[in-house]
Amino acid sequence: MLENAMRKMFKTTSRRIAVPALLTIFLYVIAMFIVFLPHIEQSFISRKKELIRELTETVWSLVENYHERELSGELTRPEAQKRALLRIGTLRYGPEKKDYFWIADMTPRMILHPYRPDIVNKDIEEIQDSGFKTLYFSWKEVVETKGVGYVDYQWQWKDDPNKMTDKQSYIKGFEPWGWIVGTGMYLSDIYAEIDAIRNRFIAISTAILGIVLMLSLYSIRQTMKADRVLMRTLIERNVLNISLKKSKERFRSLLENTSDWIWESDEKGQYTYSSPRVEALLGFSSEEAIHKTIMDFVPIDLKNLYQKTFENLLGGQKPFRGFETTCQKKNGENVVVEHNAVPVFSENGGLLGYRGVTRDITDRKKAMEELKKSRDVLHANLEETVKSLAYAAEKRDPYTAGHQTRVDRLACAIARELGLSDHQIEGLHFAALLHDIGKIALPSEFLSKPTMLSHEEHEIIKCHPQVGYDILKNIHFPWPVAEMVYQHHEYLDGSGYPRNLTDKEILLESKILTVADVVEAISSHRPYRPSLGMNAALEEIRNGRGIRYHAPSVDACLKLIKAENVDLLGLSEIDKGELGPIKNAT
| Residue-wise pLDDT tens digits, 176-213 | 999 999 998 887 777 787 788 778 878 887 888 788 77
- What are the residues whose beta carbons fall under 8 Å from the beta carbon of 412, sequence distance 6 or more? 425, 428, 429, 432
At 343-377, the pLDDT tens digits run 999 888 888 899 988 888 887 878 777 777 766 66
Contact present, 196 and 120 (Cβ < 8 Å): no
Cα–Cα distance for residue pair 236/243, rounded to 1 Å: 10
Pick from 341, 309, 344: which is nearest to 326 by CA?
309
pLDDT of 300 over the 90 cut = no
Mean pLDDT of 150-160: 78
pLDDT at 219: 72
Q: Give the span between the Cα atoms of 311 and 313, in whole angstroms.
A: 5
The residue with greater pLDDT, 55 or 161, is 55
Query: What's the mean pLDDT in 501-513?
Result: 94
Selection from 290, 293, 370 nearest residue 327 by Cα: 293
Count the alpha carbons within 13 Å of 381 in the hemisphere toward its beta carbon. Answer: 6
More confident residue, 467 or 579: 467
pLDDT at residue number 584: 36
For the purposes of burial, counting CB atoms within 10 Å of the CB of 104, is it exposed (0-12), middle (13-18) or buried (19 or more)?
A: buried
State residue 577's pLDDT score: 38
Listed range (39-48, 87-96, 298-307, 366-375) with the worst mean pLDDT: 366-375
Enumerate domains of the chain plus CATH numbers.
47-193 (3.30.450.20), 258-360 (3.30.450.20), 389-579 (1.10.3210.10)
What pLDDT shows up at residue 582? Answer: 38
Report percent pLDDT > 70 for the chain.
77
Tell me how far apart the alpha carbons of residues 61 and 172 are, in angstroms, rounded to a whole number: 11
Position 12 pLDDT exceeds 90: no
Task: Give the pLDDT confidence score for residue 572 in this predicted structure.
Answer: 42
Comparing 467 with 27, which gets the higher pLDDT? 467
Mean pLDDT over residues 261-276, rounded? 88
3-class DSSP state for residue 308? helix
DSSP state of 72: T
Which has more confidence, 221 or 275?
Answer: 275
The pLDDT value given to residue 76: 94
**Residue 40 · residue 204 · CB < 8 Å:** no
Average pLDDT over residues 113-125: 84
The predicted pLDDT at position 41 comes to 76
Write b or e for each residue in 197-209: b if 16 or more Cβ atoms lie within 10 A of its Cβ, otherwise e. Answer: eeeebeeebeeee
Backbone angles phi, psi at 148, to 5 degrees: -140, 160
Give the pLDDT confidence score for residue 394 in this predicted structure: 63
Of 399, 337, 387, 341, whose CA–CA distance to 363 is shortest?
Answer: 337
Helices 37-71 and 187-226, packing angle to 10 deg: 140
Question: Does pTM top 0.75 for this prediction?
Answer: no
DSSP string, 119-168: GBTSB-TT-B-TT--BHHHHHHHHHHHTSEEEEEEEEEETTEEEEEEEEE
- What pLDDT shows up at residue 361? 85
Residue with the bigger pLDDT between 376 and 564: it is 564
Q: Which residue has the higher pLDDT, 504 or 235?
A: 504
What proportion of the chain, given as a percentage, has pLDDT over 90? 26
Q: Report the alpha-carbon distance of residue 461 to residue 447 in Å, rounded.
A: 8
By DSSP bridging, strand 110-112 and strand 271-274 are: unpaired
- DSSP annotation of 399 reads G
Q: Which backbone phi and psi does 163 adopt, to 5 degrees? A: -120, 115
pLDDT of residue 476: 85
Distance of alpha carbon 88 from alpha carbon 113, whole angstroms: 10
Q: What is the mean pLDDT of the chain?
A: 80
Stretch 482-511: mean pLDDT: 94
pLDDT classification of 565: cutoffs 50, 70, 90: low
Find residue 345's DSSP bridge partners.
351
Report the candidate in 458, 414, 410, 469 with the shortest Cα–Cα distance to residue 436: 469
Residue 144's alpha-carbon distances to 18, 52, 60, 106, 124, in angstroms, are 63, 20, 16, 10, 17
What does DSSP say about strands 148-157 and 271-274: parallel, antiparallel, or unpaired? unpaired
